[in-house]
Structure 1
Amino acid sequence: MIGVASQHNSVAPVRLAPQLVVIDDCDEVSPAAAIYRVLTGRDAANARIDDDRDFDRHVLASILAVALTERGAVTERSGVAADDLVVLLGRWFPHIAKLFIPSIAGEPLDDDEAGMVRDLLLANRSSDGDIGRWLAAMVARRAMEPNHLWEDLGLRDRSELSRLLTRHFGPLALSNTGNMRWKRFFYRKLCEDDGIVMCSTPVCTHCGDFSRCFGDESGESRMADRRRTAALQAS
């Protein structure tokens, strides 16, 4: 059992078992926020993101925290294969890896749509090493969820998603000159690559769907939710 201090200095015990993450009577912090704190040792609101490595660690912790609070295997919810998750945890969160690794099993679902988004991201990688490959899989998988992409990645706002994409998938991010919503932009690029015209008009401002592509993306971070959930099935 791991004691996780809340904002009011109470302790929310988090138990990590092979198939269950349990947060006992945690009124002050969301399940995802509690797991983020276990991974990083701090609240998401106080995340260190000044340098690139700290930012990458924050992003990985945010995605994993959200994935671990949802029903289904963490491999399926995060989009990352079991072998890669073991390496990721050992490299970025070594202090806690041995508690999480026993719960890792299975492989991501073979989803054609997520695969197309992943391949689009991989074709536009701008960083070296495994992290770009992992993030391509993670972003693609989380893009299949219904909310704003930054929310389903567990990030704090859209600007963090833009920074992630600019850092690791620079050519793609820089081509979003109109600041289109990221999920809509991904699909527009996929359609363009296949020679399909997705838009009903040649000028965005004349389109009836303008607000769907460029509308407000405000919302509440998954790290900020207050929930009285006693048990969260992680796989």
Structure 2
Amino acid sequence: MNNTKNCEKLVTAEEAVQFIQRGDSVLVGGFGLCGTPFTLIDTITETDHARELTIISNNLGEAGRGLGKLLISKHIKKAVGSYFTSNRDAVKAWKNGELEIELIPQGTLAEAIRAGGAGIAGFYTKTAVGTKLAEGKEERTFDGERYIFIRGLKANAALIKAEKADTLGNLIYSKTARNFNPMMATAAKLVIAEVDEIVEAGTLDPEKIVTPHSFVDMVVLNDRYEKIGGEFVERGRQETGYR
């Protein structure tokens, strides 16, 4: 049973996405479809003001699922992430000149977001040295090895997914559905957390809280997807997502 009465940060998905503006950069949690804020993504597709977005995420979901819906609705101008070939619509949009893409190796992406959230301007890495991904980046040599400089990543907003929130906004995650979500919560001006359950403050095990409430601006209750057999299914449809 959800304790929504005492959660001061609780808003509807429709209220939350009104704070996403045209041209914003938006961090979106998820790995494949695991740990994806489906309800928030679906709600953005129903708006007209939040277009020309730069989405920073590991990938763009799949065709018609997760961030794939946001691509079909033409809300995304640019995608920054590690791989997009899991979504045939993303590949097609890029080939047709309808989508800008910036590829970042997965580990580098994670570290860039962590750095942005920690207030670190950037870091050096050997990953991608000598490849097209290194073009235009500062290069230095340390101990005889080449490194490129990567800027820390921050965004106007972050849409993250957690399993539970307490009424203060503290978050816990479900296993690997945690993925990029906690670090994204530290690297945005506005953090909107979609959760499956809200409980009274003090009932969560403090040792399991990953994202403290001080990082969370708004909490949205997932009311569009239900978990069946370990997968998230859109209510009224047979299509499935992941944890």
Q: Give the number of the structure whose residues are more often strand, by fraction.
A: 2
TM-score (norm 1): 0.25
Q: Give the number of the structure whose residues are more often helix, by fraction.
A: 1
TM-score (norm 2): 0.25
